[in-house]
Structure 1
Amino acid sequence: MEPLRTLKVGLDSLLLEFGSGGEVVEAFRSARSRRDEGLLEAIEIIPAARTLLLSGVEVDRVLGDLEHWGAGAGEQQQPELIELPIRYDGPDIESVARLWDCTAQEAASFHSSLEYSVDFCGFAPGFAYCSGLPEGYEVPRLTRPRSAVPARSVGLAAGYTGVYPRASPGGWQLIGSVDIPVWQEGSGDPALLRPGCRVRFVP
């Protein structure tokens, strides 16, 4: 596994920069597997759109070990699959269908036919950026963001699908809503969607 660039951050952190979100997901899964197997000591492993931050590591040791990432039994384990019941009733489903040159029903069928991967979380606690839309199906953000988006709304922006964990302002185009919470405040593990897991939307 070859990052485009590595950057030492402080005394015990390392930032890895990659060329695509898919490479970040692969690196995140490898890092987590190696930590589980005792091959990597890291306090935190934090993915973003194009980077992976490793904190609490021996930087020189990690740099010398990067070429071995992706090898081993850990990577062969299938990531967790989470199925989200969805209703394609969003106010922007018709607009998205026009962008995709199809009907709203065809847009819903196409979106639900794909499997997605949680690349990283951000914007709000529990908001997962799910990749999986093919090239050419990118959706622009709204010109004027909404002042309030209901919790559990499913939106599209750029090449990502996201589920709003709670009511908040937002500029993603809304195509539907899911029937189960993706964020449970007060729970020991409040986020349903975590980096590295797979997601399917089930009508």
Structure 2
Amino acid sequence: MRLRRCGADAMLVEVDSLDEVDAVRSALADAELPGLVELVPAARTVLAAFEPGSAGLARLRPLLDTIDLTKRAATEPREVVIPVHYDGPDLELVASTAGTDVAGVIELHTGAEYKVAFSGFAPGFGYLVGLPEALQQPRLDNPRKRVEPGSVAIAGEFSAVYPTASPGGWRLIGRTDVTLFDSRREPPALLAPGDLVRFEAIR
């Protein structure tokens, strides 16, 4: 674990894996540190930001020394079910690459349990770990200039849902009518780090 100051009131915690990110994020979230205003997990880091002048930053380092990086969150995670029309433009490509058929892709994708590891790329875009190994495939050689909101996608070890229209190179296997991000909603993003996600096929 490596610590890097980010200005006067934030600390970046660097670790070696997504599992360790989850351990740090959950431990800090449960610790009720004074003045903590934001926890931002990423692929190998957790940023902890505090109110100026609060005692939270001073208490952060001793707390980090006590964290077991192999320990999972003690709090019960929130579960989110996302219904999906599996009719994406890359569905046949994904099936061929995985050595199965379309029905096999749907069974694999819906049979897994996912966890939101972190958010990024666009507001409400959650990187979901738990994708079956057979579906872990590279991004497209030529990214699309526009991916429609609600597109369900896979790339590398992750699955995700595009919350808004944007360019993108992930392989698209379906679409959902669920709104992933709405600035008028509280909180605006449907998915948050630590949430469990299941995909459910719409027949």
State whether TM-score is above 0.5. yes
The one of 155, 173, 177 aligned to 2:175:
177
Q: 1:44 aligns with which of 18, 25, 38?
A: 38
Q: Distance in 1 between matches of 2:134 and 2:57?
A: 39
Query: In structure 2, what is the equivalent of residue 53 of structure 1?
Result: 47
Structure 1: state its 5+ residue gaps: none
Which residue among 183, 188, 195 is the counterpart of 1:197?
A: 195
Aligned match for 1:26, one of 20, 23, 39? 23
- For normalisation by structure 2, the TM-score amounts to 0.88
Corresponding position of 1:11: 8
In the TM superposition, what are the counterparts of 1:138-149 in structure 2 within 5 Å?
138-149=136-147
Amino acid in structure 1 at the alignment position of 2:97: L
Residue in 1 that maps onto 2:88:
90
Corresponding letter in the other structure for 1:93: L
Counterpart Cα distance in 1 of 2:183 and 2:190: 11
Shift of residue 134 of structure 1? 4.1
Query: What CA distance in whole angstroms lies between the structure 2 residues aligned with 1:40 and 1:136?
Result: 44
Greater shift, 59-68 or 104-113, is seen at 59-68
* CA RMSD, Structure 1 to Structure 2 (Å): 2.0
Percent identity (aligned): 38
Q: CA contact under 8 A between 1:34 and 1:40: conserved in structure 2?
A: no
8 Å contact 1:152–1:178 — kept in the other structure? Answer: yes
- Asked if structure 1 preserves the Cα contact closer than 8 Å seen for 2:34 and 2:56, the reply is no
Select which of 122, 125, 129 maps to 1:124.
Answer: 122
- Partner-residue secondary structure (3-state), 2:12: strand
Give the Cα–Cα distance (whole angstroms) in 1 for the partners of residues 76 and 101 of structure 2: 34
Give me the whole-angstrom Cα distance separating, in 1, the residues matched to 2:73 and 2:193.
Answer: 15
Q: Structure 2: which 5+ residue stretches go unaligned?
A: none
1:185 and 1:6 map into 2 onto residues whose CA distance is: 33
- AA aligned to 1:169 is P
Does 1:158 pair with 2:156? Answer: yes
Cα deviations across residues 79-99 of structure 1 (Å, max 9, x unaligned)? 101000111110111111122
> 1:111 aligned to 2:105?
no
- Specify whether residues 70 and 77 from structure 1 end up closer, same or farther in structure 2 by C-alpha distance, changes over 3 A only: farther
Farther-moved stretch of structure 1 (21-30 vs 156-165): 21-30
DSSP-derived class of the 2:36 partner: coil
Counterpart AA for 1:25: D
Aligned residues: 195
SS of the residue 2:31 aligns to: helix
* CA distance, structure 1, for counterparts of residue 44 and residue 133 of structure 2: 17
